[in-house]
Amino acid sequence: MSSRTTGRADEMSVTSVPAGTAEGGTRPPRRGVRLDKVGLYGLLSVAALTALFPLLWMLSGSLQSLTELLSNERFLPADPQWHNYVTAWVQGELGIYLRNSVLYTGSAVIGILLVSSLAGYALARLDFAGKGVFTFVILAVMIIPAPAMFLAQYKLLISLNLTNNPVGYVLILITSGIPMSTLIMRSFFVSQPRALEEAAALDGAGPLRIFWNVILPLARPGLAAVAVIQGLGAWNEYLMALVLFEDNSLMPVQRGLTAFTSAETPQQQILLAATTISIVPVVIFYLMAQRHIVKGIGAGAIK
């Protein structure tokens, strides 16, 4: 018994010494700041400043006079010209263009989310003939550049008598965003466990109710990511609106910004103010959906 007790005491005395402590009782030196982290944070800071500088320059230029802006002698305005925003709003009729853009973008995003979520769920869960061919067609459409389909889309709208019509413009925005959005939503639906659908089916829920009440809420990060991506694309669309619309009252905000680019009456400071106003709705929408976007990006990275 004495030998066993002595062995245990020696063992306890050995394990009581902290790991990494020298025999003389001195502790190891603290680890310094890793150079790779310093380099990473430095690179990220440079990238952030590179992305923010054009926005800061736009804000500064929108508050300068035309003479001060063209002289390019200072970054910050000496005397902020707040009336530039009033001129941009009144003279450029930005209220009409912003209303149109909000209507077009909102309608397009709702249509894309509805169609792509249903199509993505069908590709993820249903087994039907030609499923692989249908997926291949979606990928093939994504490969075709948008200008290559521009003439065909325009001729189709002419045949349907939808030129100079907001309905035709919204339909073009929806059809342009469906392929990529369908594949994004499919990846989210594939990751959901089938046990949830089976449990809902045992409770008497039908396919549509399972999709709407069980599966779709779980794909909320994917819906937010698709909404932001397609919303930015629809908000910044310019070429189709320029060709399709003849009435200026139907133009989106990107077309309205060209009113300040006349060579006879240059108004670059007013154009910068109008551009600043035009990005406010996009920034607000992004801030509202930021939490879901981060979740969507993380979930997509894991997949």
Least trusted range by pLDDT, from 12-21, 70-79, 90-99, 108-117 = 12-21
Please give the pLDDT value at position 256: 80
Given a cut of 90, whether residue 171 has pLDDT beyond it is yes
**CA gap 295, 184 in Å, rounded:** 14
Phi/psi of residue 191, each to 5°? -75, -15
**CA gap 136, 4 in Å, rounded:** 73
> How large is the average pLDDT for residues 63-73?
83
Share of the chain above pLDDT 70, in %: 83
Given a cut of 70, whether residue 12 has pLDDT beyond it is no
**CA gap 216, 223 in Å, rounded:** 9
pLDDT in tens, 241-264: 888 898 888 999 988 888 777 655
| Residue 292's pLDDT band (cuts 50, 70, 90) | low
Q: Which amino acid is at 113?
A: L
Residue 70 parent element (H or E): helix 66-71
pLDDT in tens, 129-159: 888 888 888 888 888 887 788 888 889 999 9
Q: What is the CA radius of gyration of the chain?
A: 29
Angle between helices 268-302 and 94-125 (to 10 degrees): 10
Given a cut of 90, whether residue 238 has pLDDT beyond it is no
Please tell me the chain's helix, strand, coil percentages from 3-state DSSP, rounded to the nearest 5.
75, 0, 25
Please give the pLDDT value at position 302: 47
Please give the pLDDT value at position 303: 47
Residues 114/168/228/295 CA torsion (nearest 10 deg): 20
Residue 111 parent element (H or E): helix 94-125
Cβ–Cβ under 8 Å, residues 215 and 189: yes
Given a cut of 60, whether residue 30 has pLDDT beyond it is no
Given a cut of 70, whether residue 11 has pLDDT beyond it is no
Please give the pLDDT value at position 166: 93
Please give the pLDDT value at position 200: 85
> How large is the average pLDDT for residues 49-61?
89
Contacts for 189 with CB less than 8 Å, ≥ 6 apart? 120, 121, 123, 124, 125, 215, 219
Residues 54/56/57/62 CA torsion (nearest 10 deg): 120
**CA gap 93, 274 in Å, rounded:** 10
Instruction: State pTM to two decimals.
Output: 0.77
Q: Contacts from 300-303 at CB under 8 Å and sequence distance 24+?
A: 300/184, 300/187, 300/222, 300/225, 303/187, 303/190, 303/191
Instruction: Kindly state the tokens that stand for 16.
Output: 């009581």
pLDDT in tens, 87-139: 888 887 888 999 999 999 999 999 999 999 999 998 888 888 888 888 888 88
Cβ–Cβ under 8 Å, residues 185 and 299: no
Cβ–Cβ under 8 Å, residues 273 and 85: yes
Q: What is the DSSP letter of 214?
A: I
Q: Which position has the higher pLDDT, 73 or 44?
A: 44
Cβ–Cβ under 8 Å, residues 196 and 214: yes
Average pLDDT value for the chain: 81
Please give the pLDDT value at position 239: 85
Q: How many residues does the chain have?
A: 303
